[in-house]
Amino acid sequence: VVLHCQADGCSGEMVREPYVMDCWFDSGCAFFAQWHHPFAGTEKLEHNFPIDYICEGVDQTRGWFYTLLAVSTTVFDSICYKRCLSLGLILDANGKKMSKSLGNIV
């Protein structure tokens, strides 16, 4: 994909970088990267794998939760956590998710 720059004084082209990984990939590696595995810390990883539980908001199910599972099953052929606690969202008086972008926060 090539985009031609239309801005005043710009005569260049913007080229899409095709080799980009999902922004959640580094978070999905956190369970083993925290001990610098595979370069070091293998004993700590073996002792703590799989993790007892993870806890995050329900909005993370398609981000962090999924990526942890995808990375661990790809790299280790195993799940990386035993239990998952998913927290709900705080709602406003109208039942909508409280959000800075919606302007309905306290």
Kindly report, residue by residue over 67-93, the tens digit of the pLDDT.
Answer: 999 999 999 999 999 999 999 988 999
Task: Give the pLDDT confidence score for residue 3 in this predicted structure.
Answer: 81
Residue 60: Cβ within 10 Å count: 19
pLDDT surpassing 90 at residue 12 = no
pLDDT band at 47 (very low <50, low <70, confident <90, very high): very high
Q: How far apart are CA 39 and CA 24, in angstroms?
A: 22
Secondary element (H or E) of residue 84: strand 81-87
Task: Give the pLDDT confidence score for residue 39 in this predicted structure.
Answer: 92
Task: Please state, rounded to an integer, the average pLDDT across all residues of the chain.
Answer: 88
Burial class (CB in 10 A: 0-12, 13-18, 19+), 28: buried
Task: Give the pLDDT confidence score for residue 41 in this predicted structure.
Answer: 85
Tell me the one-letter amino acid at 5: C
Burial class (CB in 10 A: 0-12, 13-18, 19+), 29: middle
Kindly report, residue by residue over 48-73, the tens digit of the pLDDT.
Answer: 999 999 999 888 888 888 999 999 99
Question: What are the structural domain ranges in the chain?
Answer: 23-106
